[in-house]
Structures are given as structure tokens and as C-alpha cells.
Chains A and B, each alone.
Chain A
Amino acid sequence: MSSHALRPTLHRIKRRPLSHRRRRKIAVAGELISVAGVVGSPVYDDAGRRVGSLHDLVVRWDSAEPHPSLWGVVLRSRFRHAFVPASAIAALEPDSLRLTGDFEPRPVERQPGLVALANDVLDRQIVDGGGADIVRVSDLVLGRLPDGIRLVGADVSVRTLLRRLGPAALRRRVAPDRVYDWAGVAAFSVRGPGEAGSVLRLTTAAAELATLRADELELLLGDLPPAERAQLAAHVAGEVER
């Protein structure tokens, strides 16, 4: 082993931060639901019987929408997984989920437009367009908007990670001042079964990356895995041309 290979690493850590950009805070009133906190919670039917536990929350990803809407949930009962569409959700609380009477579980299928939040986004890297930064997601936050439940923000703080190591009550607590608006997220990567490596999903905020200086963009791209780097570079090049 020679320690030469660590030099770029140390250089990366010591280098100057990007120009003064700030992440956008969320602007949603009302109760916020922590994805890390609600996953694993009990799921009840309309008669109050427990039918399983909440395994994941699925949103429909549409590059034109700043806040993806909740598409459904994945339930787990006796080691089996089933998908339940959002229309069958009677109430999603920070610590439980209640379904309507006529819910029909379907087999879980991966579809290109759907993103499972706990599996695909939580604990992974996202490209923050507003802050021009690559950060790792400590928690995701859902909010109740007039047209339904949507993914409104991401928390990338270390404090929230520590919170998640604690008891369930602590895990569910959302600190709004540490949550950034999901609308500022330029890209996130999705790693599906069978496909090695990951693919970036780009959002409308990715256009902001075209305003970065060349050296800033180079630093940013340098932190992504090769395939994602090429994908984002091509996208930004396309934006610049437009």
C-alpha cells in the first residue's frame, strides 16, 4: 500500500467550498411525517385489525412535478410483500397506517416511474440543485398538501441520523428547521434489482446546475460514480445549449 492514493481524498476534503449557495428550506404548513420513522409501523384495516407492517412508501416520480405524490405503500405481512395503492389509504399517521375497507393488495412490481422511498432514496446520495452539493439523505419528509400526501423535503443532517438510532418515538420526530425543500433536489439515484450500478433520476431543479461555474461543476461531478457522472454531465451540457 502506498498512501499516494489518499492524496486526492485529502485534497477533496480540504478544498474550498462552492460559491455561496444555500439550500432552500421547506414551506409546508401542517404535520410532517418522517419516512424513516413511519417505516416499520403497524398497518390496520378499517376494522382496526392489524394486517401487517409498513415496509416502504412509493411515490410517482414525474420530472415536471417539484413534489412527487404518494402513489402507494408496500406492506409486509408474514415475510410477504404486497403493494397497496394510495387510493386505499384511509389515514397515514406518523406512527401508523389505516387502510380503507375495500383495499386489494397487489404483487409488488418495479415500474420505471415509481420510486420506493426507503429502499431507493433514504441513506443514498442526492444532488442538491439549490446548494450545488452532493449529500446523503438522513430522512425524507412527507407533507399533507391540498391535493394529497406528497414528498416535500429531505433532511441531510448528522443529528437526524443519530435520532434514527434512538427509540421509535424519537425516530418519528421531524425537525422542520433541518428539512430542505425536495423541489431543490436536482437528481437522485435509483438502484433497482438486476441493474448493477445506479441511474440518476433528474428533476426540474437539475436546470439550476447549468448556472454553475465550470470548476464548480467539475468538483460536483467528481463526487459521483462514473455512470452517474456521465449522465449528469450530458444533461447539464444539454441545458447549457438550450
Chain B
Amino acid sequence: MNDVAAPAARPHRRLKRVLAFAAIAGPGLIAANAGNDAGGVLTYASAGAQFAYRTLFVMVIVTIALVVVQEMCARLGAYTGEGLGALIREQFSLRASTGAMVLLFIANCGLTVSEFAGIGASMELLGVSRYVAIPVALVGLWALTVFGDYSKGEKVALVLSLAFIVYPAAAILAHPNARLLARDLLTPQFVHSTTFLVLVVALIGTTITPYMQFYVASAVVDKKIGPEQYPAERIDTVNGAILSDIVSIFIIIATAAAVGGTGPLTSAREAALALVPAVGSAAPALFGVGLLGASLLAAVVVPLSSSYAIAEGLGGERSVSDSFRRAPVFFGLFTVQLVVGAVVALAPGNLISLVVNMQVLNGVITPVLLTFVLILANRRSVLGDAANGPVFRVVSTICVATVGVLAFAVLVLKLLGKA
């Protein structure tokens, strides 16, 4: 690693090293990186800017919880052949499942807000006003999904989002304080302030998003992975969760090394400073491109996945068919989320704090939906012999309970106006 860590003198040599790192990291890291949406990138960057490395231990714990949760969801998909929306409808009372779907919808509206905020922030970095960029993106994304071929646009967005692959290189090239880094990564470093607690819940909310849980179960069902293929899928799911959190940890480290301890982020330009050690003066443009790609990608995928989960819970999958007129529930929900996302992101104010607040909302909703997942994965009537065993039950219950207590504390603080 010596030669990667050495400060690079000329830009092209620097680029070579970044590419070499990407090659070593392999496709897994690239795929995991694509999962870091606008909300994630900006929240991790905020954590690094505000508390330097101090949230790293939280991220280690969150990674364990993420692995546990994603594994349960993938297992539910593989063994039942049904998505979480359908399973919740079948296994809980209609009122409870309606509550779950409403919460998922609210959480995903919040995420869509942060994706549009990401579009606005990135375009401002590239010199376009958000009051132009967001409405154009709203109309464009809606039309592309409802009338056009969404998969082509998706590829472009995916390539743009790969700009974030420079984060690990930037983190290493920034020469973070190794002693401090190791301490904060391996031992709890809690800061006694409500802002820290709120940020911890935002980190949980953006890492263990309700949307990801519904998504992984549906993806497993779509890929037609059954119990026989599940052992391989389990490895994939666990690796994916760990890799995506490694990228998140690199974002925190890179930002902490660049602007750590300077207080909360106020603009995307500040967040972009983290990439300077890797790409020099190209940092703002590269960050802008990456953020735009990640936001465009997630601004469609997030509302689509919640519309799908809700439609799946409401009826058979086939009750939603081809056009807006024929599938009013599905496309109606999709449209509402997109419009809410764009309108809220247009409100004047600090986009970064808006994004972090939306992740807090996700963090508060997450434990409620996790409880449904936990009950489903514990039920032998649902999973048979693949249901959670005694050890797994304890571990997963501790994970969900911890997330729940933290979220509840933040909810109370917010309601009391203390956070």
C-alpha cells in the first residue's frame, strides 16, 4: 500500500493509482458503492465533518446490525418466494400491515426528498440553480419511468455514481491520524450531546433503511432464488452489506481527514473537499457528478420499490399492469413520492441539514419495520426449519431493541424541542 499512500505529484499518476485501487477493490466494492445514495453520502460526510472519526465505532456496530437484518430479509424472500409487503399482509392483521405500509411510504417519501436534495446540491456544485434542476429532474424522471425505458437512463446514472469510488483512495491519500483512527474504530467514543445522538440515529437510518429491507427480499424473489441456492445468496448478502459499509466508513474517514471537527456541513462544496487529496482541484466537479448519479439512480429506485411493496401487499403482483390508467395505485404512489420529494427539496434552506433530517426520520421508522421483519423471521409457520434459531433470536432482538431505544430517545428529544 506504500505507493498508494505516497503523496502523488502529478495528476495523471494520481489517477493511475486511483484506478489501481479500484481494480484491487474489485467489482464487489463498485457494486456496494453504487448503493450509497445521496442521503448516505451526505450523512456520512456530515458525520465526518462534525465529529471526525468519533462515529466510526457506531458504524462498526451498525454494520453488524445491517448484516443481521439483511440476512433475515433475504432468507424470508428465498424461503417463502414472497416480498415483505406480501408477507406482512398475510401474517399480520390488516390494520397492523396498513400501519407498516404507511410508515414505509413516509420513510421512502423522506428518502426521495433527500435524493432530490442531492440532485439540487450536485447541480449547484456544477453551476446550475436547484430551482431549475429539481423541476427538470422531476419531470424527466417521471416521464422516463412511466412512458420511457428507465433501464437506459439507469446505466448512465450508475456510471456517474461510480465517481465515489475515489473515496477509499482519498481517505488513504489524506493521511488520516492512524492512532486516532484505530482508537475510534475499535473503542466506543460517544460524545455527550444531543447532536451526536441525532446523528447516530441518522447514520442508522441511512444505513439500515427500511427501503433496503423490502428491496433485498424482492430482489431475491425476482432472481428466483430458492432454499437450494440460498447458501450462496447468503454469502452475497453478507458481503454486500459489509462492503457497502466499508465504503461508508471511507467516506467518514476522508471527510474527517479533510474538514473534520469544523462543525456541521453547510454545503456540498464543503463535502467535496474530502476528495481533494485524490483528485485535486477536480474534487468539486467529481463530487457533483457522483452525487448527481447516485441521486438520479435512487430518486427512481426508492419510490418504485415502495410502490411495488405496497401494491404487492394490496393485491397480487399481477393486479398492477401496464399503464398509468391500468395500474393507478402503483403509478399513483410513485408519482406522489416523486412530487413530495421534489417539492420539499425546493424549499429554501440548507440542503445538507434537510438530507440529514430525512435520515433521522428513516432512523425513527426503521425499528418499527424491523420488528415486523424480526417476528416474521422468528415464525416457524413462515420459515419452517429456516426460522431464527435461539442464538440468532437473541442477537437480532438486541440489534432491533438497541436501534429502537436510540430512535425513541431521539423522537422524544425532537418532540421536546431539545434536538
Contacts and interface: CB of A to CB of B under 8 A. Distances in A.
Interface stretch (A48-56, A172-180, A218-226): A218-226
Nearest to B77: A225
A192 B380 CA distance: 10
A47 to B, nearest CB: 32
Interface string A124-145: 1100000001111000000000
Given A1-B35, A197-B79, A226-B224, A191 B381 contact: yes
A14 interface: yes
Contacts of B380: 193-194, 196
Nearest to A171: B94
B297 to A, nearest CB: 6
Contact of A1 (B240, B304, B311): B240
B31 A225 contact: no
A223 B384 contact: no
B70 to A, nearest CB: 10
Contact of A134 (B80, B317, B326, B329): B317
B197 interface: no
A212 interface: no
Interface stretch (A3-11, A25-33, A76-84): A3-11
Contact of B318 (A8, A197, A223): A223
Contact of B381 (A136, A193, A224, A227): A193
A5 B98 contact: no
Given A158-B314, A165-B94, A227-B81, A14 B384 contact: no
B68 interface: no
A13 interface: yes
Contact of B315 (A17, A156, A225, A229): A156
B218 interface: yes
Given A2-B158, A135-B318, A196 B31 contact: no
Interface string B146-179: 0000110010001000000000000000000000
Contacts of A5: 215, 218-219, 222-223
A213 interface: no
B89 interface: yes
Nearest to B209: A1
A164 interface: yes
A15 B35 contact: no
Interface in B190-228: 212, 215-216, 218-219, 222-224, 226
B319 A7 contact: no
B315 A158 contact: yes
Interface string B313-343: 1111111111100110110000000000000
Contact of B317 (A12, A227, A228): A12
Given A9-B308, A136-B314, A196-B386, A2 B81 contact: no
A10 B385 CA distance: 32
A195 interface: yes
Nearest to A5: B219
Contacts of B244: 1
Contacts of B80: 197, 225
Contacts of B323: 14
A3 B94 contact: no
A133 B318 contact: yes
Contacts, number: 133
A17 B385 contact: no
Given A194-B381, A225-B82, A3 B322 contact: no
A7 B145 CA distance: 11
B231 to A, nearest CB: 16
B81 A224 contact: yes
B81 A17 contact: no
Interface in B351-390: 380-386
Contacts of A134: 316-318
B137 to A, nearest CB: 16
A192 B365 CA distance: 32
A56 B311 CA distance: 27
Interface string B86-113: 1001100011001000000000000000
A156 to B, nearest CB: 7
Nearest to B215: A1
A226 B79 CA distance: 9
Contacts of B329: 158
B305 interface: yes
Interface centre among A135, A161, A197, A227 (most CB of B within 10 A): A197
A122 to B, nearest CB: 9
A117 to B, nearest CB: 14
A7 B240 CA distance: 19
B316 A125 contact: yes
A16 interface: yes
A161 B311 CA distance: 12
Nearest to B384: A196
A150 to B, nearest CB: 24
Contact of B31 (A2, A124, A164): A2
Given A1-B35, A226-B81, 14 more contacts: A2-B35, A6-B222, A7-B154, A13-B320, A13-B322, A16-B322, A134-B317, A136-B314, A158-B315, A164-B94, A165-B98, A191-B382, A194-B380, A196-B383
9 contacts: A1-B35, A2-B31, A3-B158, A6-B215, A7-B154, A9-B304, A135-B319, A165-B98, A223-B318
Interface of B: 31, 34-35, 79-82, 86, 89-90, 94-95, 98, 145, 150-151, 154, 158, 212, 215-216, 218-219, 222-224, 226, 240, 244, 297, 300-301, 304-305, 308, 311, 313-323, 326-327, 329-330, 380-386
